[in-house]
């Protein structure tokens, strides 16, 4: 995720920055002197970075604003244990943030795990405040850190991100005034999750946080959703008359994947669409926690855009409030993935729909992939670790007349089949042998999926059975593959097939005859045009 894509909109409203009078300054100096006397050596308080810009710097004005926004927010029947809240200027995202924080009211809150993205420093993993930091300050006062929890995390792998990332960061700071009104005695564990953090790393961070999930602990995850406009270098809906509808539909679909605690669907929707959700990494960390250490349900409590406030759709940010109600439980690991078997008709149909939804989402930047995850579960053969290829063909065109439009995949299975197919489909749109696929071409394309068996080494080319075996040729550090159906579709004999495969690998046509290594595999092949998934 490009951290340069995520910016906070400046407030249109005039935010009070009235300086304190002589009395106030004197009292502040006395308070600072007393605080210094009781803090441990080297201790310090992280000072506000965006007070007076994102929210009022005047304490009374700030307290009044937050209290009023919370009073207007609808509360759930039961208090929440985790929320996702936006972090832009209050004039834009404040009411949506209040809708999230209202879910915490009524819950006993002793400690808050505060997760957010880093907008100013790029890194992988999690970043904690510097060891000397004992509190985060806002105009409403200081919020103490749970220093024991912070120091425990500091000793764990993955929590060595730059502490200086906290200094200018607003994503955690703007959530604090809401917490100070709702839970004035709660301590915080401030964690920035870096832009280089993928699902596996997010899961490891979540696992390290799981022991902190006890009664009295809640999670606040800070994120804005889609940033749309040239200023954010992402404007696929620019100039469209229904831009507002498209942005809300995209934001709602993505937020609903988070509310469903669907870490895979949320991550793939954002990554494949190219969506500019700045907090995708902290949200992914939260979803890993909720998946493995939580019993309950989530709901999207509010959704809006800054365009609704400004009327300016050339630069708009989407804001979502998501709340999770339930109970913490001990961490439970994922079950071992199943072994790949023969796909049934429902599984083949689901994978073809997944491949098309992936291409639509990738090329049109819409919510189609999130829609697939809302109606399908990754289980059975879809959860088995397997290699697969996605082939894009021109509908109604024969192979000899240029039917192929793209074909990319993974020979060796490294991830669940559903993920393999989604990633292969998005990549096939950019097969380097052809111009990039355009969205307007999709209706004229038909998709084919080949789900591969494990590779099997053979002694030589004479062991290849045409029409049954896919072939991997390797020589001199070069490698190329043909799927089983290539020989059937082209009518090539074995020598012709291997000559073409050698050329595909960047070798002379006869290179296969001496010193080459061969591996074969079978494939379950099925397509939108009606193949029944028979094993070839």
Residue 260's pLDDT is 98
Choosing among 3.40.830.10, 3.40.50.300, 2.60.40.650, 3.30.470.10, the CATH entry for 3-328 is 3.40.830.10
The topology under which CATH files domain 345-452 is: Glycoprotein, Type 4 Pilin (3.30.700)
377 or 312: which leads in pLDDT: 377
Residue 135 has pLDDT above 90, yes or no: yes
Residue 80: pLDDT band by 50, 70, 90 thresholds?
A: very high
Q: Does domain 456-524 have CATH number 3.30.1490.150?
A: yes
pLDDT in tens, 389-423: 999 999 999 888 889 999 999 999 999 999 999 99
- Count of CB atoms situated within 10 Å of the CB of 23: 8
Q: Where are the domains of the chain?
A: 3-328, 345-452, 456-524
Residue 21 has pLDDT above 70, yes or no: no
Q: Kindly provide the b/e burial profile for residues 392-406, where b requires at least 16 CB atoms within 10 angstroms of the residue's own CB.
A: bbeeeeeeeeebbbb
Q: What is the pTM of this model?
A: 0.89
Q: Are 267 and 227 in contact (CB under 8 A)?
A: no
| 345-452 and 456-524 share one fold | no
Report the distance separating Cα 27 and Cα 31, nearest Å.
Answer: 6
Report the distance separating Cα 203 and Cα 293, nearest Å.
Answer: 11
Residue 353 has pLDDT above 70, yes or no: yes
CA angle 383, 389, 392 (to 5 degrees): 125
Residue 273 has pLDDT above 50, yes or no: yes
Residues 6+ apart with CB under 8 A from 475: 502, 505, 507, 511, 512, 515, 516, 517
For the chain, the straight-line distance linking the first and the last C-alpha, in angstroms and rounded, comes to 40
Residue 42: pLDDT band by 50, 70, 90 thresholds?
A: low
Q: Kindly provide the b/e burial profile for residues 234-256, where b requires at least 16 CB atoms within 10 angstroms of the residue's own CB.
A: bbbbeeeeebeebbbebbbbbbb
Q: Are 135 and 145 in contact (CB under 8 A)?
A: yes
323 or 43: which leads in pLDDT: 323
């Amino acid at each position: 995720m490009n951290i340069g894509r995520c910016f906070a909109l400046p407030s249109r409203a005039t935010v009070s920055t009235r300086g304190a009078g002589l009395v106030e300054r004197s009292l502040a100096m006395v308070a600072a002197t007393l605080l210094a006397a009781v803090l441990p050596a080297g201790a310090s308080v992280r000072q506000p970075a965006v007070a007076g810009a994102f929210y009022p710097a005047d304490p009374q004005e700030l307290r009044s604003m937050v209290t009023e926004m919370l009073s207007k927010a609808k509360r759930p029947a039961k208090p929440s244990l985790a929320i996702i809240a936006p972090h832009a200027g209050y004039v834009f995202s404040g009411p949506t943030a209040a809708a999230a924080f209202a879910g915490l009211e009524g819950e006993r809150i002793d400690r808050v795990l505060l997760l957010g993205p880093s907008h100013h420093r790029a890194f992988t993993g999690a970043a904690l405040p510097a060891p000397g930091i004992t509190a985060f300050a806002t105009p409403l006062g200081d919020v103490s850190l749970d220093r024991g929890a912070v120091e425990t995390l500091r000793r764990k792998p993955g929590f060595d991100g730059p502490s200086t990332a906290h200094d200018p960061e607003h994503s955690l700071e703007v959530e604090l005034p809401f917490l100070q009104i709702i839970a004035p005695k709660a301590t915080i564990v401030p964690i920035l999750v870096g832009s280089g953090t993928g699902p596996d790393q997010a899961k490891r961070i979540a696992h390290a946080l799981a022991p902190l999930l006890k009664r009295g602990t809640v999670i606040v995850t800070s994120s804005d959703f889609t940033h749309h406009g040239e200023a954010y270098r992402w404007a696929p809906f620019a100039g469209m008359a229904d831009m507002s509808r498209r942005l809300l539909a995209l934001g709602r679909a993505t937020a609903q994947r988070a509310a469903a605690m669907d870490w895979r669907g949320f991550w793939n929707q954002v990554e494949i669409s190219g969506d500019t959700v700045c907090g995708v990494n902290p949200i992914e960390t939260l979803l890993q926690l909720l998946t493995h250490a939580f019993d309950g349900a989530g709901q999207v409590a509010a959704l809006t855009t800054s365009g609704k406030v400004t009327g300016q759709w050339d630069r708009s940010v989407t804001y979502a409030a998501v709340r999770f109600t339930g109970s913490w439980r001990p961490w439970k690991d994922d079950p071992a993935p199943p072994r790949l078997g023969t796909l049934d008709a429902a599984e083949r149909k689901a994978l073809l729909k997944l491949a098309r939804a992936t291409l639509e989402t990738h090329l049109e930047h819409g919510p189609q992939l999130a829609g697939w995850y809302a109606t399908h579960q990754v289980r059975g053969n879809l959860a088995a670790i397997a290699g697969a290829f996605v082939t894009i063909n021109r509908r109604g065109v024969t192979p000899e007349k240029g039917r192929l439009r793209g074909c990319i995949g993974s020979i060796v299975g490294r991830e669940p089949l559903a993920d393999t197919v989604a990633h292969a489909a998005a990549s096939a749109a950019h097969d380097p042998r052809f111009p990039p696929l355009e969205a307007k071409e999709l209706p004229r394309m038909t998709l084919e999926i080949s789900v591969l068996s494990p590779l099997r080494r053979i002694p030589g080319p004479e062991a290849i059975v045409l029409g049954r075996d896919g072939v991997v040729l390797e020589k001199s550090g070069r490698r190329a593959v043909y799927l089983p159906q290539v020989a059937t579709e082209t009518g090539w004999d074995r020598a012709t097939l291997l000559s073409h495969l050698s050329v595909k690998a960047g070798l002379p046509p006869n290179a296969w005859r001496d010193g080459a290594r061969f591996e074969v595999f079978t494939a379950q092949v099925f397509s939108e045009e009606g193949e029944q998934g028979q094993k070839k």
